[in-house]
Amino acid sequence: MSPATVVFALLFYTATAVLLAGLGWRVADYARTPAPLKIPTTPAPTSTTGVVLRLVREVALFESLFKANLWTWAAGWIFHASLALVLARHLRYFTEPVWGWVVFIQPFGVLAGITMVLGLAGLLARRLLVERIRYISTPSDHLLLWLLIAIGLSGLAMKYFVHTDIVAVKAFFLGLMRADWQPLPADPLLYVHLALVALLMLVFPFSKLLHAPGVFFSPTRTQIDDPREVRHVAAWASKLDRT
Amino acid sequence: MATKVEAPPLRQYPVSPPLVAGSMAESRPYVASDKIQQAIGFPGELAEGWEEKAVAHMGTLLSKYRSLKVFMDACVHCGACSDKCHYFIGTQDPKNMPVARQDLMRSVYRRYFTLPGRLFPKLVGARDLTKDVLDDWYTYFNQCSECRRCSVFCPYGIDTAEVTMAAKEILDHVGYGQKYTNEIIGKVHRVGNNLGLPGPALADTLAGLEEDVKEETGVDVRFPLDEPGAEVLLVTPSADFFAEPHVDSLIGYGKVFHAAGVRWTLSSKASEAGNFGLFIGNYDQLRAIALRIREAALELGVKRIVVGECGHAWRVAYSFWNTLAGIGRGAGDDDPFAQQIQRQLDSRYRQPTHICEFTWDLIERGALRLDKEANDHRVITFHDSCNVARASRMGDRPGGQFEIPRNIIRAVANKYVEMAPETTREKTFCCGGGGGLLTDELLDLRVKGALPRMEALRGVADEHGVNFMATICAICKAQFTKVLPYYGFKMNMVGGVHQLVSTAIRLGGNR
């Protein structure tokens, strides 16, 4: 067992634990915090089904962003849709046998690796070139983009230029999941790719990447427009009724 | 504060303007005196230890409001909102970009409430809450009218209004309140309305209105005050009682009630629909001001509550009255507080009802005689008020808040045109005076903030000869009356929807 294998095994255990625990903690915190007033951005749906559809449109199509700015929408949507495909494609390294639909999307997933980087490049270009967005950008905004670009490029490099022993990589991850460690191929590009992915997992619950769970808890998008029909009172506010 | 008031030139094409850093750094409203502050339960002035107090209060708000907590975390700085604020468009000050305004608070949130902000403040743009930062809050959170336009475009629904309200609540909590808003809140408690119009003066005004309408129409239209046993309690912004053009809409409501044969009353206790507690994000004030309506309704024994033309008041009435005061439907068996009022109110009607819903129902039933030609001297357009458009509804379907006022206008007038679609309905631009900014020392900001609306109005004025912009908000009416001349329009171009109804409605010999 090489030292690198041990380091990456421990790194991925840690990163997974931090990601899950951190996200779980944030989500629990969002869910626990009351929304004392009805504040949906109207026109808003008047039923639960309507709200679910609003969220689906928001998450799958980025409806609001589409209204706001076509360039940001295009780059952002291409990046996120590609990322979803890339992540789905990567399931093949964590499942044995590989699920049918994962096999099916494999070619699209590979293509998505390229469009993902293009989408990120578009977002980075906006951040660098558009005065307003340059003004609001913090160093972490840039670094997160570069981190994702580096993950994408290192992955694409292994796909197209310097092939890694992907069968062994899969054995390594299956081994991690079964607590039966297998050696990780000694490949610098692979090390870079995996280290960056672990870093992304580690920063996720502490960064703006919380927009992912956040959208599902945003009262302006998740509340039903029915304040005249249903009395909505938060626990801390209902105490006032009894005074 | 002797700031120069200057209207920016109308843009040839409505493209996002370049940044002019610090262009509005000097624009700030008068700070509330200790007397004004203390009258409504806030500390008189900024005192030793305010930093800890402010951060602690931010923590309290974060635990009470999911909106604030999620909004502080979720922003990715995508810039979708960055060119959507009327104040940014009119002033070009980068801190008037919604995201930058939010970041004034988010930077402090990150410093005190997140791990990366504690460890690497520079990296994530976190800042200590210094006096300079607090001054920046005071300056720029008082350049947000809480209109929610940015929240329409945010992919996570982040609503800057919620952030501004939280900031104002924190500022009030450490003794750094805004004079205009807090003085008015004191007045509404002391006198019963924002204008400080006492009961007897109100009774006089209403008697005068009855005479005026009698003279104009020959019909005895009543404007009753504090009449127990009335079916309808009308709650309307106090500006309707004496300000121009507001009063013309009040006359319209009176004529509609008369034509409908409904017994109605105003209340001297609830002689104000406006609720400035909303603007400062203070739940206790919001609630206390809303409870006046409940008390008046209980005392008078009314069956229905109807709300006059006022944007933020309709938001509070429609979205919050049920929560705050039980005025609505759906009280549980274990909820005696809400049951008390809900048993009294007639549940066959929408509670509360917007005056436009009331009037449109009558028009649909054919219960009003309308002479559309009476409005033929007007070419009309409609300005959607932000709180009606993006924070409430009328009727049974989403978007009724857009259709119903337009339906009324088309029913009472022949000449109606729409302004550019990117400036109406959910995308409507604030008049520039909402959210507690309707004060003279902010006039330069207000004039600049009106720019996008003025551009759209110029478009329909030049193309279709529009000479009347109808709206259903007391603040919009007051603001436009003041700023229209800066853009070369006549100040009496603005008026209420019920002003148009008032012109067209035919009384006497009615069913």
Angle at A24 between CA A19 and CA A26, to 5 degrees: 100
B158, two tokens: 């982040």
Q: Which amino acid is at B324?
A: L
Euclidean distance between CA atoms B382 and B431, whole angstroms? 12
DSSP tag of A223: S
Euclidean distance between CA atoms B180 and B196, whole angstroms? 13
Chain B partners of A126 at a C-beta cutoff of 8 Å? 79
CATH code, A83? 1.20.950.20
Distance from CA of A30 to the nearest CA of B (A): 6
DSSP tag of B265: E
What are the phi and psi torsion angles at A54 (to 5°)? -60, -45
**pLDDT tens digits for B455-502?**
999 999 999 999 999 999 999 999 999 999 999 999 999 999 999 999
Distance from CA of A76 to the nearest CA of B (A): 9
Q: How far is CA A168 from the centre of its chain?
A: 26
Q: Measured on CA atoms in the order A95, A99, A103, A105, is the torsion positive or negative?
A: negative
Q: Give percent helix, percent strand, percent coil of chain B, each to the nearest 5.
A: 55, 5, 40
Residue spans per domain, chain B: 34-177, 185-356, 367-504
Closest CA to B65 of A44, A243, A237: A237
**Residue spans of chain A under pLDDT 70:** none
Confidence of residue B87 (pLDDT cuts 50, 70, 90): very high
Which residues 323-362 in chain B show a CB within 8 A of chain A? Answer: 323, 326, 328-332, 335, 337-338, 350-352
Q: What is the pTM of this model?
A: 0.96
pLDDT at residue B156 tops 70: yes
CB atoms within 10 A of CB B251: 25
Predicted pLDDT at B15: 86
Predicted pLDDT at B189: 94
CB atoms within 10 A of CB A191: 17
CB atoms within 10 A of CB B290: 23
Confidence of residue B376 (pLDDT cuts 50, 70, 90): very high
Provide the domain limits for residue A206. Answer: 3-241
What are the phi and psi torsion angles at A221 (to 5°)? -110, -25
User: Count of residues for chain A?
Assistant: 243
Euclidean distance between CA atoms B76 and A72, whole angstroms? 12
Predicted pLDDT at A243: 73
Euclidean distance between CA atoms B107 and A118, whole angstroms? 30
CB contact under 8 A, A215 and B116: no
pLDDT at residue B21 tops 80: yes
Which CATH code, of 2.60.40, 1.10.10, 1.10.1060, 3.30.420, is assigned to B34-177? 1.10.1060
Asked if residue A138 lies in contact with residue B123, where contact means CB atoms within 8 angstroms, the answer is yes
A192, two tokens: 């870079």
Predicted pLDDT at B1: 47
Please check whether residue B410 touches A, CB under 8 A: no
* Beta-bridge partner residues of B468: B380
B152, two tokens: 């329409």
Chain B partners of A225 at a C-beta cutoff of 8 Å? 393, 398
Ranges of H-type helices in B365-450: 386-391, 400-412, 443-449
CATH number corresponding to B367-504: 3.40.50
Predicted pLDDT at A1: 80
Q: Measured on CA atoms in the order B477, B482, B487, B493, is the torsion positive or negative?
A: positive
CB contact under 8 A, A228 and B76: no
Distance from CA of A100 to the nearest CA of B (A): 33
Cα–Cα distances (Å) from A161 to A97, A115, A153, A196, in that order, read: 27, 17, 11, 19
CB contact under 8 A, B319 and A64: no
Distance from CA of A163 to the nearest CA of B (A): 34
Closest CA to B454 of B494, B474, B484, B424: B484
Predicted pLDDT at B86: 98
Closest CA to B311 of B216, B235, B224, B387: B387
Predicted pLDDT at B509: 60
Q: Is A47 exposed, middle or buried (0-12, 13-18, 19+ CB in 10 A)?
A: exposed
* Beta-bridge partner residues of B470: B382, B495
Angle at B180 between CA B354 and CA B94, to 5 degrees: 90
How many structural domains are present in chain A?
A: 1
Q: Which amino acid is at B138?
A: Y
3-class state of residue A160 by DSSP:
helix
CB contact under 8 A, B70 and A58: no
Closest CA to B474 of B241, B140, B263, B200: B241
**pLDDT tens digits for B227-237?**
999 999 999 99
Kind of pairing between the strands at B232-235 and B304-307 = parallel
CB contact under 8 A, A229 and B70: no
Euclidean distance between CA atoms B54 and A24, whole angstroms? 29
Asked if residue B455 lies in contact with residue B11, where contact means CB atoms within 8 angstroms, the answer is yes
Confidence of residue B510 (pLDDT cuts 50, 70, 90): very low
CB contact under 8 A, A42 and B393: yes
